[in-house]
Amino acid sequence: MAAGMVPPLAMALATTIRPGLFSEPERENGRAAWLLGASFISEGAIPFAAADPLRVIPSMMFGGAITGALCMAFGVTLRAPHGGIFVFFAIGNLLWFLISLVVGTVVAAFAVVAA
């Protein structure tokens, strides 16, 4: 689940740290993507991927892969198939889940703004 939360969260972060790279509608989508990402609604990243697929999709794949690898390495478990941070009670090793999510989100966001 954590890797699926990365794309909308990363695009929300990218629109926050480099707003000049994005149009006003994209910045508005970025603000909404915070809640969508926290809820594990990956569709929050679709408008960005549709607008610039060569920059956005590889960056999201990279950040999601890092998040997934870190979750596996730290033994993060999840007993709920969906729900984002709102099912925190079902996450084993919650601290490492959050660290993995933040690292992957930051990596993906910086990959987008650097590309």
Question: Which range marks the domain in which residue 106 is found?
Answer: 2-114
Token duo for residue 33: 């993507």
CA atoms of 34 and 105, how far apart (whole Å): 11
Domain count, the chain: 1
Token duo for residue 2: 């954590």
HSE at residue 91, side-chain half, CA atoms within 13 A, is 22
CA atoms of 112 and 28, how far apart (whole Å): 17
The residue assigned the tokens 């959050």 is 98
pLDDT digits (tens, 9 = 90+) for 24-82: 999 999 999 999 999 999 999 999 999 999 999 999 999 999 999 999 999 999 999 88
pTM: 0.95
CA dist list (Å): 39 to 53, 54, 60, 104, 107: 23, 26, 17, 16, 20
